[in-house]
Amino acid sequence: MERRDFLKVSASIAALSSITACNTTSEDSEEVKELAPEEVTTMSSCNVNCKATCPLVITTVDGIITKVTPETTTIDSEDGFVIRQQRPCARGHSAKQKIYNPDRILHPLKRIGERGSGQFEQISWDQAFSEIGVKLKNIYDTYGSRSVFNLAGSSLGAIHSPTPINNLLNVMGGYTGLFSSMSFSQVEKIMPYMYGTRPYSSIVESKFSDLYLFFGFNPLETGASGAGYGFEWQHVKGDTPVICFDPRYTDSMLGREESHYFVRPGTDAALCEAMAHHLISTDQVDTSFLKEKCYGFWAEPEMPDPHNPSLTLPAVPYEECYEAHILGIKDGIAKTPEWGSKITGVPAETIREVANRLAQAKAPFVIAGWSIQRQLNGEDNIRAISTLSLMVGAVGKRGTTNGDMAFSEIATTNAFFVLPSVPANEKNAKVRMAAWPRAILDGENMTVIKDDIILPPDEIDSRGDGKLGANIKCAWVRGGNHLGQQGDTFKIAKELKDQTNVELIINIENHMSSTAMYSDYVLPEMTWYEQTDLPWSNLQSGSMPFVIATTGIPRIGDTKSTWEICEGIAKVLGIESEFSMGMTPTQVLEHGYQVLRMFHPELPSTLSEMQEKQIFKFANPCDDSESSAIRHCAMYEYVTNGGLLNTASGKIDIYSHKLRELAEKNQIPDYWRSTDYINPIAKYMVVPGGYEDSDLVSNYPLQLVNFHAKSNVHSGYTNSQWLKDAMRRAAWVNPSDASGFKDGDQIVIESSFGKIQVEARVTQRVMPGVISYGQGFKFTPVGDLDIGGNFNSLTSHTMTSTVAKGTGVNSNRVRIYKA
């Protein structure tokens, strides 16, 4: 029964009761018993970008949510761990507050004031489809397909995703899309230069470890739920000692560690080089492993190219190899623990002690959080950590990883659904996610080498370069808050406010985000909880993959799905059949489900049967078997069985000829502080906004880094009053840096890019000289001050990392003062 029908019936019953009560003959009175509304339970999931994808049981009465509870599917096992209940974190439990939040968008909106003013009028869907269709076609006709950008977003399921937008735009002639991520662009790009692919161990592989060495890894906050790697890490950790380097003492420690050491942001490569010097000088490197499995730690002779013997791989002179760099053979600077201590703030004796512990461990689990690679020297930070692991032979053996974040392979976690889609237009291009703001004014000049864009093969010249050739004129956004999640929010907002730059911004949203405030049309989409879909499943869990089939609660307001929105525009343009490919959304989902069953035939045979079952879990055990080792341990198969990697040398490239060649093509940007830029080996470099940036230190004496707050995932859940009340949103400041204010005061954090007003949390849990602040909060400018406290109001998108051209938001210097 629809809610409006229920209300009508309720009103009728009430009226009848009042008439009966007026009867003067009491014998004729008959008691009317009120029927209790029926409870309905459905399976849903929390689809924010922590990628745990926690299943949620939603209980409704007459379509209204009354409670949100965890699912309870378990199978007995010796440790109760393999097939287990998955409890959501506080964010998932606050689903009801998200759905019924006052800023929920329930009707199509059209902007009537200037962008950013928040002035909108409610319009009909027919008007929205008609106007958007006309304007969209005009942009294609005037500027071409490259000017239409699909900025997409990370809040997604299978069909609850950017796929319908891709289909619409491909039918219309193509578009420019995004690739990679703000989260991990540098590590994703650089690891294949070392390993040929991007391998990673699961967190449960660490059950075989005898030492954890963390560089900014914070599993209990970034993977907080029962479906996350924080839970799994706690389960397998046991008494294994933890040594952690981090500028913030996080909730993942709190007594779980043996030792925690503060380290200055952006100096992880220097820390690793100093440990490497100690390992070399004390003869604690694994010589046979480095010679047999790796390339470039020492000098290498000229040799035939292992992938094409008709070509020659040049020699690596000793002065160019990694050992020579550590010993200072070429630059005259030995990377001793004393040298490293001055840069990192870690005592030299601590550097020696940790290096000794690493060398003595049989199976150290060396792992870095992604924050260290979201810096302008991020690629070399993560490579340095990986090289440190290689030096002691701690890669490809049980209980080890390769330095990258612990994650799970898509194929083993059932995290993917291949939907039927309109063939991509041959002229489509892609821009790295961190780079799209540069395409507002300078997309015409963005290139493959300078900006790491992706072009069709026939547009690439002999140098491997090519030009995008178009600025953004139309931007589609769904499931993401790109204005608040990109560097230099003030700059982007100013450029978007000028409608001659981007002429049309279409936003498919649930809530009035900061990006929605700058959009021309805000089209209300159903939330995850109202959608029938197949969510992309857990990428965090190493031991228990699962598949969820969600069935939505009755939709709220005049909302639609992304598919319905795109179908409505396609109908206006006369391309509905081409858009839908003659399929309904249910048929599209069925196709995606059947593709998944090709990999996992044990799943129910049809989508409808899966929807009845709701959730299907299956074990991915981490045990002593070789098949388990291949699934869970990075590089196990190569280290154990050999083979040829897809690297320049065919081995693990500590020295990369591919990077040497890339360096020869790239020009060093004017803003770069170091003489080094793209390096064949990992090197610590002085970067803009880093600890040793002498140009900024006098005006901006403090370093600024962000973290993932427990109250939100990026912009998701930032509007939940429950979570605001439960979890303090404040900048962490060491007492030595809290001059003129106290804990709880409002302060201003100011960089060369902007300033924000936030609460101060004065605590010893952050390193002196460092401000640490959560990211994702709503950009709310009042003049030149962001009172919403958006971290990216303080950062840049024009300065990028070396190889991936990724975000450097954690390379930043600021000053603080009382508001």
User: CB of 690 within 8 A of CB of 673?
Assistant: yes
Say what the pLDDT of residue 467 is: 97
Q: How far is CA 662 from CA 375, 383, 449, 804, in A?
A: 20, 16, 8, 11
Distance from C-alpha of 268 to C-alpha of 369, rounded to nearest angstrom: 11
Distance from C-alpha of 343 to C-alpha of 332, rounded to nearest angstrom: 17
Say what the pLDDT of residue 31 is: 61
Q: What is the mean pLDDT of residues 721-730?
A: 87
Say what the pLDDT of residue 18 is: 35
User: CB of 774 within 8 A of CB of 221?
Assistant: no
Q: Is a pLDDT exceeding 90 seen at residue 22?
A: no
Identity of the highest mean pLDDT range in 34-48, 347-361, 480-494, 724-738: 347-361
**CB atoms near residue 664 (< 10 Å):** 8
More confident residue, 720 or 374: 374
Token pair recorded at residue 555? 């939709």
Say what the pLDDT of residue 705 is: 96
Q: Hey, is 599 helix, strand or coil?
A: helix
**CB atoms near residue 30 (< 10 Å):** 8
Of 163, 138, 161, 134, the C-alpha closest to 574 is 134
- pLDDT band for position 78 (50/70/90)? low
Token pair recorded at residue 795? 């950062």
- The identity of residue 598, as a single letter, is M
Helix (H) or strand (E) holding 439: helix 438-442
Q: Hey, is 151 helix, strand or coil?
A: coil
* pLDDT tens digit sequence for 466-478: 999 999 999 999 9
Token pair recorded at residue 10? 């309720």
Of 580, 473, 453, 471, the C-alpha closest to 163 is 580
More confident residue, 616 or 767: 767
Say what the pLDDT of residue 3 is: 40
DSSP 127: H
Burial profile 549-559: b = 16 or more Cβ within 10 angstroms, e = fewer: bbbbbebbeeb
Distance from C-alpha of 296 to C-alpha of 321, rounded to nearest angstrom: 6
User: CB of 814 within 8 A of CB of 750?
Assistant: yes
Say what the pLDDT of residue 87 is: 87
Q: How far is CA 227 from CA 268, 401, 537, 663, 778, in A?
A: 30, 21, 10, 41, 27
* pLDDT tens digit sequence for 311-370: 999 999 999 999 999 999 999 999 999 999 999 999 999 999 999 999 999 999 999 999
Distance from C-alpha of 717 to C-alpha of 91, rounded to nearest angstrom: 7
- Among 2-11, 274-283, 649-658, name the one with the lowest average pLDDT: 2-11
Say what the pLDDT of residue 257 is: 95
Sign of the C-alpha dihedral computed for residues 222, 223, 229 and 235 taken in this order: positive
* pLDDT tens digit sequence for 394-419: 999 999 999 998 876 655 555 567 88
Distance from C-alpha of 85 to C-alpha of 323, rounded to nearest angstrom: 49
Mean pLDDT score of the chain: 91
Say what the pLDDT of residue 720 is: 83
**Within the chain, how many helices (H) and strands (E) appear?**
27, 29
* pLDDT tens digit sequence for 527-547: 988 989 988 766 666 777 788
Per DSSP, the residues of 732-770 read EE-GGG--S--TT-EEEEE-SS-EEEEEEEE-TTB-TTE
**CB atoms near residue 39 (< 10 Å):** 11
Q: What is the mean pLDDT of residues 148-159?
A: 84
Distance from C-alpha of 335 to C-alpha of 274, rounded to nearest angstrom: 5
Per DSSP, the residues of 273-287 read HHHHHHHHHTT-S-H
Token pair recorded at residue 109? 């909106």
Distance from C-alpha of 262 to C-alpha of 243, rounded to nearest angstrom: 11
Residues 6+ apart with CB under 8 A from 10: none
CA torsion angle 205 279 325 651 (round to 10): -40
Say what the pLDDT of residue 559 is: 96
Token pair recorded at residue 569? 């525009």
Q: Is a pLDDT exceeding 60 seen at residue 746?
A: yes
* pLDDT tens digit sequence for 759-781: 999 999 999 999 999 998 999 99
Identity of the highest mean pLDDT range in 81-95, 144-158, 356-370: 356-370
Say what the pLDDT of residue 410 is: 55
Distance from C-alpha of 731 to C-alpha of 741, rounded to nearest angstrom: 13
Sign of the C-alpha dihedral computed for residues 655, 659, 661 and 667 taken in this order: negative
According to DSSP, the β-strands at 242-245 and 259-261 are parallel
Distance from C-alpha of 793 to C-alpha of 483, rounded to nearest angstrom: 10
Tokens 């990258």 locate to: 404
- pLDDT band for position 105 (50/70/90)? very high
- pLDDT band for position 580 (50/70/90)? very high
Beta bridge partners of 615: 548
Instruction: Read off the pTM.
Output: 0.92
Tokens 């590089």 locate to: 635
- Among 73-82, 644-653, 749-758, name the one with the lowest average pLDDT: 73-82
Q: How far is CA 594 from CA 138, 418, 419, 549, in A?
A: 39, 9, 10, 13
Say what the pLDDT of residue 618 is: 81
